[in-house]
Structure 1
Amino acid sequence: MTVVNRLAQFLDASPTPFHAVENMRAALLSAGFQELNEADAWDLKAAQRYFTTRNGASIVAWQMPADALAESGLRMVGAHTDSPCLKVKPKPELHQQGYWQLGVEVYGGVLLNPWFDRGLALAGRLTCLDEGGALCHHLIDFKRAIAVIPNLAIHLDREANSGRAINAQTMLPPILGQSDQALDFRALLREELARQGVVVSEVIDYELSFYDTQGAETVGLNNELFMSARLDNLLSCFMGLEALLNADAKTGMLLVCNDHEEVGSMSATGAQGPMLENVLMRMLPDAEQRICMLTRSMMISADNAHGIHPNFADRHDANHGPLLNAGPVIKLNANQRYASTDVTSAIFKLLARDAGVSVQEFVVRSDMACGSTIGPITSAELGVKTLDIGVPQFGMHSIRETAGVQDVEATVEVLTRFYQLDSLPA
């Protein structure tokens, strides 16, 4: 199976961060990694491979080096598991004009227009009482279109193509069907869970989001483009995992995929929370040795970049407009919205050169605001030298995004070589 086929399977099976982490967990277990519970004492051994999760939505996987960790350092790759979406509210039931609807909350910087007129499924995690009255958690995925957010016909809004403002409160509640009676949403969830083979006595709470039922696919006359939901940033999670599993070395390697990047990363599972630092402290409890280790380490923050759009080329700096299928992008910003430095950029460029991979650079226009990633957060929290890179894409934060097939394969190759580096400059 090709890298892109594996990517498509991963994306289609990962409609939420909970599902993405569960799929990564399964791949790591299959590859011989040992799962650790954060609540237990750890006894880490040299040259062994481990992983741990938090809240089912963030994951850290690593290989202990064969040599002393303080002397060898870590080669780290970071990404995030969450994507902008529409999340179901706690009391979502709406019954208007004979239609069942659900109230939704906008999560992250969603590009809202593409959510209209699409078949939407629902997935996430349920917290329930089992038949014995004990609290339990279950993933749920309807895997079929159960809802739609219909557009208003142009006949009723003649100015729609001139720019229709979208009211998230009134215009986004999806339609689930028709009935003369009100919807009991938790009963619906319990019934769907039973159809999936799990019986519970009550659904107490949930974290659910809608997603597009159209699957990942290659497009273009030569199949050179790849389209899917959640490329930002499950694509980077996938590439980091592929590289970790491909790397054949005794070096210290680590992959961290955090939740909540799209809403600022400030949470127990986000990059601004303590999860990664907690793991590093348990890997190397001595504070002075840990500082030595971090000085000899490097983090590559992988989060997609804005490819230059041929219809909107003026939105890019003319010298820094990344092309799809022209190689991974180093992201730079003088105001530290990205954490790349000349040193970390040079390391990546040399790795890419050895792999025969072209590298591009992105700098936002000087008259536009710049986005950010987990890179500056991790760099500031840990004091580790960091590089921000990403695959160029179109339609970032849309319900359906586009990237280049060759870029996926090339970036996996460079990340694999990064993991296998014998040493890093202090």
Structure 2
Amino acid sequence: MTKLPFVESSDEEENKSSLEKKLATKYEFGWDIFTDNQKKEVFSLAEDYLEFLRAARTERERTIWTSKYVEERGFKRLEIGKNVSVLNPGDKVYYVNRFKNVAIAVIGQKSMLEKTHIIGSHIDTPRMDLKMRPLYEDGKASVAMLKTHYYGGLKKYQWACIPLHMTGIIVKRDGTKINVEIGKDPKDPVFVIPDILPHLMANVQAKRTTTTVIKGEELNLLAGGFPISKEEDKKAKNRFKLYILKLLNEKYDIIEEDLQSAELNIVSGLDPRYVGFDKSMIGAAGHDDGVCTWTGIRALVDLKETPKNTAVMSIFDKEEIGSNGNTGAQSAWIRFVMNDLMVRTGIPESLTNMHLTLSNSMMLSADVGAAINPIFPTVHDPLNAAILGKGVVVEKHTGARGKSSSSDVLAEVMAYLRNIFDEGKIPYQVVELGAVDEGGGGTIAKFFAESFNCDVVDVGTPVIGMHSPYEIVHVADLYATYLAYKVFYEAK
């Protein structure tokens, strides 16, 4: 049996010297730390999280879900600069930006000038989007097809031969919005990217690298296999394409040109489920970064007392493609939200006060970390790698190779987090993404370290199979992440 690093048996723990027990770092499974009541809460939380995964798969869906969820729990929607009312400690509010961003806040006892606790996550996830002119007919195969453009860093071959759903909106020239949802209902059809059979792959696919097993322009969906009848249109050249256009027109009252002003996303159709005999894990698309988003929202909503510091949950789009645009973490929108909260809580509007408020804030960049894959452990440094089930991950830095494109956290800030997590008896592990020269990745942390001049630490849930159509998290880590965010919101 393969032994993973730091997975210690009870016998090994008992055989440690007293000095070793006192001085050496302890690595314990979250399940071993939790009380019996907490273990019940683990699966109660997991059930709620599974509901979220099924309901909200894209940034637009997650914005709608979040708005409804917090409003049902007493949060009031505000518009920046409009109907400026006074906010008092304990007040609960939220903001929405362009159907892709949400900021949620509980006003604290202290002035925001002193300190604000912010958790930032992202709600976009790797997927495929329909192109502006997606529908075409393949005459040789006699089928209608849809062209896509993949979004974010994904392994393209993983998306072939699995059920795919379509979700999003079509906006007609007059501004009419049409919601599209195909695949979620079990009675709906699904979409598939067909791969080549192994019998005939020798000259077409066998010599390709893993990044080109399926190429970007080959990520095309089977859309239909019936032609329009000759009685309906005797002169039609593209009978299969025309039949799909007819169906779309009958159901949505659109023509082909309307697809040019649409956001139609193709997402994994694999149902979120427990994984393993013991149901210890959850498999689903969109853990990155749905798991940190959901636990952050839930932790904020579950606060029973007014926090010392104003607690803010900020949710962003476009993280998977660089956090650019007016809905990404580099947008000025969150600064406008912070300024609006300052004004409503009685802080005079000035550049100095804005600077102090942002600089004195502390932020958790809530994004997932890479757990050791038991099949491919060599891409990690085992001494500094996350392990599934051992708690929320704290990353002093992200980046690639020489910490490129990363914010490296101050030792004082790491000590602060260690203290509040230890006091809260929360299982956590201080890790890095992978072995030094294997690659790397970034989060939104660097953007806020730079633009806010505040302290930011990456804290999130460990994941196996990141960016795949079926990522894996541990239920104990889900709960540990929730507890970590809640303790952070409550901390002084």
TM-score, scaled relative to structure 1: 0.90
SS of equivalent to 1:319: helix
SS of equivalent to 2:330: coil
Report deviation, 1:253.
0.6
Give the letter for the 1:140 counterpart: V
Q: Does 1:140 align with 2:186?
A: no
- 2:380 corresponding residue in structure 1: 316
Q: Of 121, 134, 145, which residue of structure 2 is paired with 1:92?
A: 134
SS of equivalent to 1:135: coil
Separation in 1, partners of 2:392, 2:422: 12
Q: Does 1:375 align with 2:431?
A: no
- 2:366 corresponding residue in structure 1: 302
- 2:313 corresponding residue in structure 1: 255
Between 253-262 and 358-367, the greater mean CA deviation after superposition:
358-367
- 1:331 corresponding residue in structure 2: 395
Query: Contact between 1:248 and 1:420, CA under 8 Å: does it hold in 2?
Result: no
Q: Say which one has the larger Rg.
A: 2
Q: Where do residues 129-278 of structure 1 align in structure 2 (5 Å cutoff)?
A: 134-142=174-182, 143=184, 144-158=188-202, 160=206, 163=209, 165-180=212-227, 181-183=239-241, 188-189=247-248, 191-193=250-252, 205-251=261-307, 252-278=310-336
C-alpha deviations, 1:48-80, integer Å up to 9, x for none? Answer: 211111110111111222343223x21110000
- 1:352 corresponding residue in structure 2: 421
* Structure 1 residues 303 and 193: alpha-carbon distance in aligned structure 2, compared to 1, 3 A threshold: farther
- 1:79 corresponding residue in structure 2: 121
Give the letter for the 1:150 counterpart: P
Report deviation, 1:39.
7.0
Query: Contact between 1:295 and 1:384, CA under 8 Å: does it hold in 2?
Result: yes
Separation in 2, partners of 1:203, 1:89: 8
SS of equivalent to 1:15: coil
Query: Contact between 1:190 and 1:203, CA under 8 Å: does it hold in 2?
Result: no
Query: Contact between 1:338 and 1:388, CA under 8 Å: does it hold in 2?
Result: no
- 1:123 corresponding residue in structure 2: 167
C-alpha deviations, 1:247-289, integer Å up to 9, x for none? Answer: 2232301001100000001110100111111111222233222
Separation in 2, partners of 1:278, 1:362: 33
Separation in 2, partners of 1:372, 1:324: 20
Separation in 1, partners of 2:251, 2:420: 49
Q: Where do residues 96-115 of structure 1 align in structure 2 (5 Å cutoff)?
A: 96=138, 97-115=141-159
Separation in 2, partners of 1:98, 1:339: 55
- 1:287 corresponding residue in structure 2: 351
* Structure 1 residues 38 and 281: alpha-carbon distance in aligned structure 2, compared to 1, 3 A threshold: closer
TM-score, scaled relative to structure 2: 0.79
Report deviation, 1:34.
0.8
Query: Contact between 1:100 and 1:175, CA under 8 Å: does it hold in 2?
Result: yes
- 1:58 corresponding residue in structure 2: 101
Query: Contact between 1:305 and 1:329, CA under 8 Å: does it hold in 2?
Result: yes
Separation in 1, partners of 2:477, 2:223: 38
Query: Contact between 1:86 and 1:107, CA under 8 Å: does it hold in 2?
Result: yes
Separation in 1, partners of 2:125, 2:357: 32
- 1:414 corresponding residue in structure 2: 484
- 1:14 corresponding residue in structure 2: 56
SS of equivalent to 1:272: coil
Task: Please provide the CA RMSD for this pair.
Answer: 2.4
* Structure 1 residues 189 and 113: alpha-carbon distance in aligned structure 2, compared to 1, 3 A threshold: same
How many residues are matched?
A: 412
Report deviation, 1:347.
2.2
C-alpha deviations, 1:374-409, integer Å up to 9, x for none? Answer: 011111111111111121111111111001110001
SS of equivalent to 1:21: helix
* Structure 1 residues 82 and 89: alpha-carbon distance in aligned structure 2, compared to 1, 3 A threshold: same
Separation in 2, partners of 1:266, 1:42: 29
Report deviation, 1:38.
3.9
Structure (1/2) with the larger strand percentage = 1
Separation in 2, partners of 1:89, 1:41: 40
* Structure 1 residues 75 and 311: alpha-carbon distance in aligned structure 2, compared to 1, 3 A threshold: same
Give the letter for the 1:91 counterpart: R
SS of equivalent to 1:3: helix
* Structure 1 residues 214 and 241: alpha-carbon distance in aligned structure 2, compared to 1, 3 A threshold: same
Give the letter for the 1:347 counterpart: Y
Give the letter for the 2:332 counterpart: P
Between 134-143 and 241-250, the greater mean CA deviation after superposition:
134-143
- 1:403 corresponding residue in structure 2: 473
Separation in 2, partners of 1:305, 1:17: 20
Aligned identity (percent) is 21
